[in-house]
Chains A and B, each alone.
Chain A
Amino acid sequence: MTLPVLIDQLVSGLAIGGVYALVALGFALIFGVLRAAQFAHGEVYMVVAFLVLAVLPWFPALGPLQFLLVIVTAAIFGAIAGMLIERGVFRPLADAPHIAPIISTIGLMILLQNLVAYLKGSELHRFALAWPQGNVSVGPASVPVLKLVIFGTALVIPALLQVALTRTQLGRAIRATAIDAETARLMGVNTARTSLVAFAIGSALAGIAGVLVGALYGVVYSTMGVTALVKGYAATIIGGVGNLVGAVAGGLLLGLFEVFVASYVSPRWTDAIVYTLLIVLLALRPQGLVGRAIPEKL
């Protein structure tokens, strides 16, 4: 339509797409290194959002600094949750048939969801950050600062991750483990440890996405992880079978696509159209998630 509306829609799509991108990136990173889908990934996102909500009253209202603190706390909670899951579920099943970790993480997903619903109730819980608030002009449009910050966060974090993966020894070791774990061990890489680190980083990304979406919607709730997993998975498929750059691009594309379908077709049809296209995409790319894990360049 008009330019301001278009800008507004773009920013909205990129904000929610950024959240999807972080979820998808974490999912792809874990998949790349462990060669197994982490179905409780969305639950990490949900649990971290609830944990951060619980400690939020203790955070000083320091504007952007508080926001930064929230992100860091979410990353730490996410990393801890991820390490517990890796050690508790994936490591013991490393030599089990491939289906075993899948079933276990589906079980974990159901367990965590019900546990949070039992402890905190299944209703919505208010999640409000003191910063960012208000609107800012972008060209002729006025858009919420919050959405720009979320989009920015969802760009900066993958970029930092990319630097870490390509410029540090640990990052190289993680990528090597994803490509060929045995050869990585021949180089002296402790692949059990790189798996753990990759799992922690992937889960930290989920945790960050969880608080971002909490801030975006203004609420958190016990079933939010299901949507996250579905959208994150969809983003991975769109982005081209489990590579990291693709995951980010896929997430952003999905967010934009959803907003434009909702705006120019109908919100009623958004999910139906998105999932129909996904099925088509999967049919054209039957290899699905399996594929090259970590590309060379962002």
Chain B
Amino acid sequence: MSRRPLRWVSALVVIALLVAGCGSPGNAADSDEIKIAVVGPMTGDAAQYGEDFTRGAQLAAEQINAADGVDGKKITIVTFDDRNDTTEAASVAQKIATDSSIVASMGHFTSSTVYAAMPIYKSNQLPLVVISASDPGITEQGNEWVFRVSPTNNLGAEAMADLIVSKLGLKKIAIFYLNTDFGKTERGFFTARVQANGGEIVLDEPYQPDTKDFSSSIIKLKNAGADAVYLSSYYNDAVLLIRQAKDAGVQTRWFTSAAVLSPQFTEIGGEAVEGVITNRISQGDSWDAVAEAYRAKYNDEPSPFVIYAYSAVQAVAEAAKNEGTSRQAIRDGLAKIQGLETALGPLTFDENRQAVYESFDYLEVRDGQFQLWQP
């Protein structure tokens, strides 16, 4: 007699779990908010990027909510810290996916963390919008739950190889790259394009994450006879490398991946990074408008990651408006976005759910700031 009710209860629990596991839109669709997870390094030495993500997403949410939200529903941002660690990224993704009130996620900073988290989004049927990780492979895996608004690193790296070798005529190139998914793939694209353009890689030097002492690599650079150096690095490594190389008397021209774009780069680098050239996707009027709002609110210069995060929220809002607020509806809505006006300019996802990019701006550090530069 006493066993029966228990059996009923367990059956109900199992059904409930199954329903939840299928990403039931149930309560989320009825809710009057659209809850988006922002996940990235909120602590540690990449925390600056996590803050950029959060601020960009918050700013978009505030502005959309001020204009009556998405058909009256408010957008809410919740942040999660994956500490830029692959193991942590997977477990945080799991945590986000099991919270049925969250209908979309955006972020994970590096390609390594995105790769670690991607399968979890797929199996839990939660859309993820990637806003920084740049390995092209991410959107070439047929994972229909993963979208990307930021550009792939082959684009920036190839544009840089064209600039250095073809436009500036610098043929002997040294490359330093962070020995991770991000650095290795970017190095691959850059090197292939340099060689295709008739340039020569005179030094090909990987370095480990958290390297602080670049002495031995710099000695190699000193003796490599390079006309130009390209860095596939984030800002902290790039700053250290350039400063230490200049301290060591190396004279060459410095070019870097777009990943260095951060106010910290010029702040820590000081006079050592003057003249360093990088590129980024071209920025239109809507970019400037968002940047202006950001400056007004935070009294700080926005990095591109702020704009990507902002645009990702815009894309999710558009998807929710057109298709509904369930996870499935948002995924379907995102897939259909064509020429949506966002902070990035017109946003279109290709068949791989990768945003389409065509033109680049070049930036030079001048007077302690990244400024537009014409080759």
Contact = CB atoms under 8 A, between A and B. Distances in A.
Interface of A: 1-2, 4-5, 8-9, 12-13, 15-16, 121-126, 128, 133-135, 142-144, 146, 216-219, 221, 223-224, 227, 258-260, 262-263, 266-268, 271
A258 B219 CA distance: 14
Contact of B249 (A134, A218, A258): A134
A144 B247 contact: yes
A263 B44 CA distance: 29
Given A134-B249, A268-B179, A217 B268 contact: no
Given A123-B264, A218-B240, A266-B206, A259 B215 contact: yes
A134 B251 CA distance: 12
Contacts, number: 93
Contacts of B268: 123-126, 219
Contacts of A224: 212
Contacts of A271: 208
B219 A122 contact: no
**Most chain-B Cβ atoms within 10 A of its Cβ — which of A1, A128, A146, A218?**
A218
B70 to A, nearest CB: 35
Interface string B247-281: 11100000000000000100111101000000000
A272 B92 CA distance: 30
B34 to A, nearest CB: 32
Interface residues of B, number: 34
A30 to B, nearest CB: 25
B197 interface: no
Contacts of A146: 247
B216 interface: yes
A218 B45 contact: no
A159 to B, nearest CB: 24
B220 interface: yes
Contacts of B217: 262, 267
B239 A16 contact: no
Interface centre among A146, A219, A259 (most CB of B within 10 A): A219
Contact of A5 (B179, B219, B269): B219
B177 to A, nearest CB: 11
Given A123-B48, A126-B270, A219-B268, 7 more contacts: A124-B239, A126-B267, A128-B270, A144-B247, A219-B212, A267-B206, A267-B208
Nearest to B248: A144
B222 A216 contact: no
Contacts of A126: 267-270
Contacts of B247: 133, 144, 146, 218
Nearest to A128: B270
Contact of A267 (B216, B243, B272): B216
A268 B270 contact: no
Nearest to A222: B45
Interface in B210-241: 211-213, 215-217, 219-220, 222-223, 236, 239-240
A231 to B, nearest CB: 10
B202 interface: no
B318 interface: no
A237 to B, nearest CB: 20
B47 interface: yes
A5 B222 CA distance: 9
Contact of B45 (A122, A133, A217): A122
Given A8-B219, A12-B215, A142 B249 contact: yes
B45 A16 contact: no
Interface in B112-126: none
A8 B249 CA distance: 12
